[in-house]
Structures are given as structure tokens and as C-alpha cells.
Structure 1
Amino acid sequence: MRVVKRFLLIFLTIVLIFILLELLAKIASHTVFKDKINPDILRTEFEEIYVPPFAPKTPDEFRIFVYGGSTVKGLPLPKVGFVSQLEYQLNHVFEGKNIKVFNFGWAGFNSSRIRYIFERTVSQKPDLIIIYTGENEFIYPQLDSYTLVKTTTALKNRSDLAKLIMFVVERTDSSQADQLQSRHQKFPAYSVNKILTWGKIRIFKTNINEIIKEAKVRKVPVILGIPAHNIKDWPPVKRALTTLDTPNAYQENLHKAIHLIDENRLLEANNLIDSSLAKYPDDASFLYLKATIVAKNGQNARQLFEKAKDADPIPWRTTTSYANYLSSLEDNKNVWVMDFAQIFAQNSPEGLTGFNLILDGTHPTKEGAYLISSNIVDFIKKEKLIATEWLTESNNSYSMTDLFKKMDIFQEDDFFVYQSTANLALKMPLFNIDAAKFYIDKAESLNDNNWEAKALKASIANLEGINKLAVAYLKEAEELKGSIIKIEESKYIPYLYEILAN
């Protein structure tokens, strides 16, 4: 009996403390913080997601809902993304039919955000659902489970104490975000955190399971897409950019191995890499270099490249464990799986997907997007995921050339894509200077009179320590612009502020 009384006393004390804190927070919210806590700004990640209004569905309308992250959105240029191409293809193949493709992709959407927008939109009667995901589970460091974010949202909307706590947290985060990005900052090595990795995949599995469960209840077929990724030309995040211990000897050996490969001294490089892997087993960077040597020797290197991709300390590309899980869900009745990683490999030299089909690590080129969209059209026809009578009257898909012409994809679009990719390549923690140089050169081969492209070349030269060249490019950029470049104008050009500030 004493134990029960003690428990009740503790419980009542906790409740009274929370009531008191809630009252104090309510007073503070209406006095001290009255003009500071803005409900329109103070939003959880789910409340920031825009769900567009829907027109009523017509009897002859076939709706396809596509969910995912930035690849689904079509970044860096949605106009040429695979969802845009898919809609053009479907309305040509099934000419005269009323097919509408809805794009619910957005940059950074992980499975929790996809599940949220799915639950907000699935009532609008889709006839087919396509989910292309697995890339963004580690883009945020927190374990942002669907249930946790939903609960946080509910508490924030009902409690002044929750609002006040969120205000303090958001203010701290925004002050850090306002700081100019430093190339010396360190990022958590997520892949070596076993608890975080376990938690992330549990969240992913739960979200995908719940989406499929609801789709089955509504009798809507689902295509799960395993994302394609660049394994050949996009190296893992460098160890030195993470919180992992990076001794000087490690750095020296890594740079030396890269130099030896560049000079085609492959045997020396291989011996150095093997000795380094003995000290740092499963190190992503050395595994990637090992795979590069195997490929240069004309041998099958795909397995090694995949291993390097899976060992990436910041695994933004879909890992094998995520891909295997998605594959396990196929039942060919309600759920079908399309392995775009495999499809891209089959359409790449030596089975190694690189810049031939993917711009960076994950975003497809317009040719890669064509590969995704045309394969989806063929898959829909093969599995009869559309009205049977439509299949007998269907046309062949557009060829790539005809589709791009039909979509009015011009040289200006290619320039924008290349320049945007060069910018992205320099962002932390990617920091891929070689890729940035590769794409800015491609951009300038199309247009050599863009001041922002020239300014980016100044940034790259500065990062490489070629100061005179950096100053020369900056001067060219300002001549093209017709005025000096101000600090506030440099925020879209990585690290340009480092030159302007001096």
C-alpha cells in the first residue's frame, strides 16, 4: 500500500509540475514572447509540407501518384525530371486517354515525410502509386520517426509549453544555419553509429509497411522503385570531413594513392591501398580507389564499388540493405519492385553507372530520367497496371530524341543543369572539386558568358590554392556582370565569400 501511495504522490507531483510549467509558458507567450513566437513560422517538418488542392476526379481519369525526394521532384530542373517525362510518355502511348501524373516529390523527403504526404493525399483516389525512395534516410541526423513528429506537431498546437520549447530550439538552429558554410566543419559519420543505423532502418521499414498496408486496403497497386546511384564516378564522403579519427598517415596514403592512380602506376597504388585497408578495414575511400584500379585493369569492379558505396560514412545513396528490403516486399499482386540500380547498370559500360546516367551521386541526367520513365511505361504495360482495353490501342514510346524535342528541352536547360550540379558538388559534405570542375567546364562549353559560372570557377581555383587564377576568374565574372559582386550575391556560389571577404 505504501508503494502505491508513493507512486501516486510522485505521479501527482509530476503532473502538478507540468501544469505549473504550462501556466508559466502561457503567461510568457502572452507577455515576454508575445511578438516573438510567430505560429506561421513555428512549424514542425510535417507542417512545412505543402499539399496542393485537388480538382474532383472525373470518371475517365487515371491518376498516378509519384512519391519520393529530389529525384522525383526532378532536381536540379524539374522540367527534365523523370516524372515530367513519364507524363509526356504516358499521354503519347495511351493517346486520347485522360492520364494525370501527380508529383509529390521534394528535396530531402525521407520515408517519414513521404508517409505523411501519402496519408494526406491517398484519399484522392489514385489508380497507381509509384514510390522512389531510399536515398534520404540519413540526410537528417535525428531519428525523425513518423509517430514522433506527429506527436510533436499535436503537442505544439495544443501546448504553450511545447511552443516555447520549440521556439528556443528553432532559434538556436536558425542562428547556426545563418552562419556561412565552412569547409572545415565536421559531419557525423552516421554509418558507424550502429544504434542510429538500426533506428533509421526500423523507421524506414515501418513507414514503407504502413504505406503498403493502406494502399492494399484501398486496392491501389504500388510500384516500389529502388533508386539508381553513381558508383563509378562519385566517391564516398571523405573521412576527413567527418568526426571519424583521421591520422596524418591516413591522409598522406590516401592522397598518394590518388596521385599514383592518376599517373597510372596502378600496381604501386594497389599495394598502398591494400596496406591501408589492413589498418582501416572497410574504409569507403580506399575501397573506392581499389575498385577504380580493378576497373582500370578491365576486371569486374561492380561489387567493390557497391561495397564502397555501402561503407560511405554518410550514406545518402541507397545502401544494399535498404534495396534488399524493398525487393523483399514484392508480391506481384499488390506490390511490384523495379530495380533502377540494376537497370542503370545494364545500360552502362562494364555495368558501372557513372556520369553517363547520373549527374552526381543520385540525381539522373535527362538521359537517366528517360531510362526511368520509359521503363516504367513498359512495366505498366507488361504487368497490365492500366485498363486492359487501353493496351490494345497503345502507341510505342517516344524515342529519347523525339521526347526531348516534344518537351522543348533546349541547350539553356542543359547549361542550367550543369551549373547547378557544379554548385551542388561543392556543398558540404560532398565537397567534390573534381566533379565541380567537370560540370562547370560542360556548362561553359555551352555558354562562356555567364558571370555566375565564372565566379564558381574563381571559387574552385581558390579552393585549390591557385590564388592568381581565382582573382582572374573573379575579375572576368565582374566584367560579365557589369558590376562588382557583393557578399550577399555570393550565397548561391559556394565559398565565393572567401575571396570577396579578402
Structure 2
Amino acid sequence: MVGYGQDYQLFHKVNTDKKPDYLEMNINIAGKYFKNNGLNSDNQSDLFLKTKTDSTFRVFVQGASTVVGFPFYRGGSFPRMLKHRLSLTFPEKNIEVINTGITAVNSYTLWDLTDEIIDQKPDLVIIYAGHNEYYGALGVGSSISYGNHPAFIRTYLSLKTVRFFQLLENGYYKLFSSGDKKPSTQETTLMEVMTREQRIPYDSQVYHDGLAQYESNLDKILKKYKKHDIPVILSTLVSNEKDIKPFISDSIPNKTQFLQALEEGKPEIGNVAQHNAMAAYSLGRYYLEKNQDSAKKYLHLAKELDFLRFRAPEKINEIIGSLAKKYDSPIIDMKNVFLAHSPQNVIGDELMTEHVHPNVKGQFLMADAFYHKIKALNFLNNWDNYIGFDEAFRNIPITKIDSLKGKLVIEDLKKSWPYDLRMSGTRPMATYIANPTYEETKAQNIYKKIEPWDQVMAESYRRYENDKDYNKALRVAESLIFEYPEQGEVYRMAGNMCLNMTNLEKAAYYFSKCNQLEKSSLSARQLASVYLKLNKIDLARKTLKEAKNRGFNDEALNKMVEDVN
């Protein structure tokens, strides 16, 4: 069986000549969960050291598309916002926040990845997951499902790493798979491709099977981490209840009479709303400007009664809370975090892009909550460089181009199924921006795969630098650091922009990271020069001495050594 089948290891060694060795997530890992669906993982590529050092603080984040950062990705995801803020707070440490999120997966995948995450000796694991429990790969309502028996499905996943089992499975599919053409993501949305049971009523058997599946898997995940003394921070889930109507609902009975009674404020309309998602949503919207408590109640009820379960039922949050107590795991009530920033006390478009994915501010609120929970639990000592909410929010490490590209993704999604049920089996025409700005042009080009992201970032960095728009150039450099943390040049790019903005402390941080990686005469001179500007003479001397000890003897270095001595 040598050479047959797929390698489903979670982490692979990065192919680079640079030392030390790095690992990254297997870009083909999604194939393990999406058999014969032609789906590829859109997971982030977060490099981390193969051999963990004493100065490393290593965090793994588990979840699905919200964790990946959909629709912005890169610096628009809360794991990268968290890494950015922790790295600046602890400049002497090697902060690793490794994103293992995969779009359209659920707790089965999280369970399956747990052992390999444990092997990498995490200092902390963060879990944000639950919205995909019904329609994620192998879920009870998914088009990729083998029933509602969690123990059987976990056994199946364990066997998937065996090449002989892959041979048997592939043979079975060739012999017995239906000849019926299945929809693909080329033709419609991933949401439709993954959905088999479009109507899962509240309190139905399938509804309870999904809850049991989630509880069983999360319980086993937390048990494993507990056994290895690895702390886990859990989080409740957030969804858009104010501005997303139920995807699938029964028609409102006697709709004309209902709407008339709604306008007249008759109390009996509440009885209809108890059993009808669209009636509950209509009543919630009616109350928004009149009674926020009633609005919140009925909008929440509408989400609970929605037949199409792309938003996790509240029972999922109750399971998270119950298991947090059982395993003594710290928990963040993310729902309350979002409510505190929601003007009408109901989570809506102010913080969400659509039904479950936070916008950039929402992702920031998540990162902020985890940052402060890490601080409160003393996972790291010495918070002298603590970064407050306002400063961190001003410096979110996302480019304008990535932000605009995310908005294009959402605009197209909201014209598709299930936002428009008439669009089943098809895709709308891609959004086109008339008279676009430079950033809009580049966002469209990335979205339509006309230009690769790396090329756009390199070009935009040069453009911003030439235009003296140093803040935007810094955002680009910081985005590149996430992608290439092993390359000194991207830190130099960030350091140069900080110098241009006379932010010397931040420049010293980036040049220090550059020097650690590059260990060249240039990197040492740049770092020493910033130290001199900060009047940190001893650090400048130390940096130059280390460069001389590495054998550098160029004229520029020798002159600098002479000047500081």
C-alpha cells in the first residue's frame, strides 16, 4: 500500500531552506472530511516551530469558518488579531497562535484533530464551534453523513488514516455511488452543497440528534485535553438575530389578519409567533423601536424556530456552559460581549456580515475577549506592555483590500441560496463595482482570481510607500508577517514604516524580530540605529557586538561600532 491514498497528517514540515524547521497545517486535510465533493480547505497557513522553545507561548484555535476568518481571512480573523496583540504585548516571547479552523466542519473534525494538536504541546487551546453541527461534514443533517451514531463516525474517522481502508472506501464509491449528479460549489453555494435536511423542526428527533452529537464530541475533546493538563478556553456562540430573517419557515397562517393584528398591537399575535419562525421575526422587528426586551425575545425565538439550522440553537450554548463546568474550563460569554456593543440589545448587522460570521469589528471583539481572558487567567506574566481596547482597535492588522474583498464575498452570498431560495442550484453574477478605486480594483482582482494575493500586497506596499501612506503600508507588511513569519524582510518592511511614522518603540520591535531571523550586518545596524534614537545605548552596543562576533566586518558596521564606542 506504499504510495496509495492521501496523507491526512494534520501538520507538515514547511519546505524551506531556512532554519529552524517550521510546521504548518496540511492544506489537503479537508479531503478527509469531504469525500468526493471536490471541496478544498481554505484554512489559514500559520507557521510554527517544529521544536518548541522555552520562550514560546503556543496557542491552537479550533473551529470552522468563523475561526478561519470568513469572509476576510488573514488579518481579519480573530486568531491573527490575538496573535498580533499578544506579540506586541510580549516582544521577548515567540507568540504562536495556530489556526486549525476548516470551513464547513463540525465537532467530529475538532475531535479528530485533537490528538495531533496535543502532540504539539500547546500552552492553551481555544474552541469556538457549533454553528455547523447539523450541516457540517458528517453532521446529522449534512449531505456528507453516515447516520447519527457518534461512536461509529469517530471510528470511521480513525480508520481514514489507514491506506488500505482508503483503498476499500474508494472501491466502494466506484461500485455503489449513485450516478446522479450532485451539486458542486462551482454551481451553487457551499451552504446548499452541504445541506441534506433543509427542514429540521425545533424539538424534532434530528434536532436532538445534532445536540447529542455535539455534546458527545465536545465531551471527549475536553476529556483528552484535561488528561494532558492542557487548558482550554471555551466560548458561547453568536449569531445575527436582528437582521437575518428565518431562512425557511412555514407560511404565517391567515397572514393578512396577522399583519393587521400586528399593526394594531393585539396581544394574540404572540400565540402565533410561538410556533412560526416568520411570525416571531415579524413580531420582533415590530417591537424593535417600541420594547427592546420583547424585540430580543421574539427575534431570538425566530432563530430558534428556523427550520434551516445554519445558526446554532441556544441549546448548543447551554451544552458549552455545562461541559465548561464539568471540566473546569474557563468560558467566555461571547454573546454578552456582542450584546454590550449592540445598540438595540440584539445582535445584528452592526457586528455581523450575515447570519453567523462577524464583521471586522466583531472579529476584533472576539480577539479582545480572548486577550483579556488570557490576562485574567495569568497564562502569561508581566503585562507591562498591555495594549488597551482603543489602541488595539485602531491597529487591527487587516488591509483595506482584504476588507473590501470580504464585502464582495458577502454581497454575492446574500444574492444566493439560502438568502434567496429561488437561487437553488445556481450562482448569481459576481458583483461588479463601477468606477472602482485602486483598492476596490485590487479586491475584485483577488476575489475573481485575476491576481494572486501576494502580488497585490507587494504592489500595494510599494504604492502606499511612494504615496507616503505609511499606515496602510504598515498594514500590508503586518499581513505579510502572518504569511511569512520566518522571513526577516517582512519585519524590515514593517519596521521601516514605523520609522517613517516616528513610532520608534514599534520600529525596534520589528527590527529586533528581523535581526533574530536574518542575523545580518544590515539587520543589526538597523536595530542598533533605532536603539540609538531611543537613547538605549547599551542595547545598541550589544546588538553591534553580536554582529561583529558573527564575523561581519563591513565598513558600515565598523563605523557604527566606532561611533557608539
Does TM, normalized by the shorter one, top 0.5?
yes
Cα deviation 1:313-333 (Å, max 9, x = unaligned): 122222111101111223497
Q: C-alpha offsets along residues 223-252 of structure 1, whole Å, 9 cap, x if unaligned?
A: 11112111111111133xxxx6x5xx75x8
Instruction: Describe the superposition over 1:142-175 as per-residue Cα deviations: whole angstroms up to 9, x where unpaired.
Output: 3465543344453885466643323356564764
Q: Which runs of 5+ in 1 are unaligned?
A: 1-37, 457-502
Number of equivalences: 391
How far apart are the structure 2 equivalents of 1:358 and 1:448?
A: 22
**Whole-angstrom distance in 1 between the partners of 2:302 and 2:433:** 27
Q: Could you tell me which amino acid in structure 2 is paired with residue 61 of structure 1?
A: T
Cross-structure match for 2:337: 343
- Judged with a 3 Å threshold, the aligned counterparts in structure 2 of structure 1 residues 416 and 274 are, in CA distance, closer, same or farther, namely farther
Match of 2:369 in 1: 375
Equivalent pair of 2:58/2:96 in contact (CA under 8 Å): yes
Secondary structure in 2 matching 1:191: coil
| Whole-Å separation in 1 of the counterparts to 2:230 and 2:197 | 40
Change (3 A) 1:46 1:53: farther
- How far residue 214 of structure 1 moved from its aligned partner, in angstroms, is 0.7
* Aligned counterpart in structure 1 of residue 173 of structure 2, from 166, 169, 172: 166
Q: Structure 2 matches for 1:240-259, cutoff 5 A?
A: 250=253, 253=255
The aligned counterpart of 2:72 is 77
The 5 Å alignment of 1:57-68 reads 57-68=52-63
How far, CA to CA, are the matches of 1:333 and 1:152 in structure 2? 27
Residues 474-485 of structure 1: pairs in structure 2 closer than 5 A: none
1:26 — aligned with what? none
Residue in 2 aligned with 1:472?
A: none
In structure 2, the partner of 1:360 is 354
Amino acid at match of 2:417: M
1:427 aligns with 2:416: yes
Equivalent position amino acid for 1:148 in 2? F
* Structure 1 or 2: more helix by fraction: 1
Tell whether 2:288 aligns with 1:295. yes
Contact kept in structure 1, 2:81 and 2:364, CA below 8 Å? yes
Indicate the SS of the match to 1:351: coil
Q: Residue 335 of structure 1: SS of its match in structure 2?
A: coil
Q: Give 3-state SS (helix, strand or coil) of 1:412's partner.
A: helix
- CA distance 1:380–1:113, shift in 2 (3 Å): same
Give SS of 1:329's match.
helix
Among candidates 156, 160, 177, match of residue 184 of structure 2: 177
SS in 2 for 1:105: coil
Aligned to 1:98: 94
Match of 1:350, SS?
coil
> With structure 1 as the length reference, what TM-score do the two structures score?
0.67
> Which residue matches 2:298?
304
- Contact residue 46 and residue 116 of structure 1 kept, 8 A: no
Contact 1:112 1:145 in 2 (8 A): no
**CA displacement 1:401-424 (0-9 Å, x = unmatched):** 6555462x3332232121111112
The alpha carbon displacement at 1:93 in A equals 2.1
How far apart, CA to CA, are the structure 2 residues paired with 1:287 and 1:377? 36
Q: From 204, 228, 245, give the equivalent of 1:235.
A: 245
Evaluate the alpha carbon distance shift between residue 54 and residue 334 of structure 1 in structure 2; reply closer, same or farther with a 3 A threshold. Answer: farther
Shift of 1:426: 2.6
Matched, 1:45 2:33: yes
Q: Relative contact order: is structure 1 or structure 2 higher (C-alpha 8 Å, sep ≥ 6)?
A: 1
CA contact (8 A) 1:95 1:394 kept: no
Instruction: Pick from 320, 325, 331 the counterpart of residue 326 of structure 1.
Output: 320
Residues in 1 aligned to 2:375 and 2:185: alpha-carbon distance in whole angstroms? 49
CA contact (8 A) 2:354 2:410 kept: yes
User: Percent of pairs identical after alignment?
Assistant: 21
Cα distance in structure 2, aligned partners of 1:449 and 1:98: 35
Residue 93 of structure 2 is aligned to residue 86 of structure 1: no
CA RMSD for the aligned pairs?
Answer: 4.1
Q: Summarize the alignment of residues 479-498 of structure 1 with structure 2, pairs less than 5 Å apart.
A: none
Per-residue deviation at 1:192?
4.6
Runs (5+) with no aligned partner, structure 2 = 7-27, 448-565
Conserved 8 A contact 1:266-1:293: no
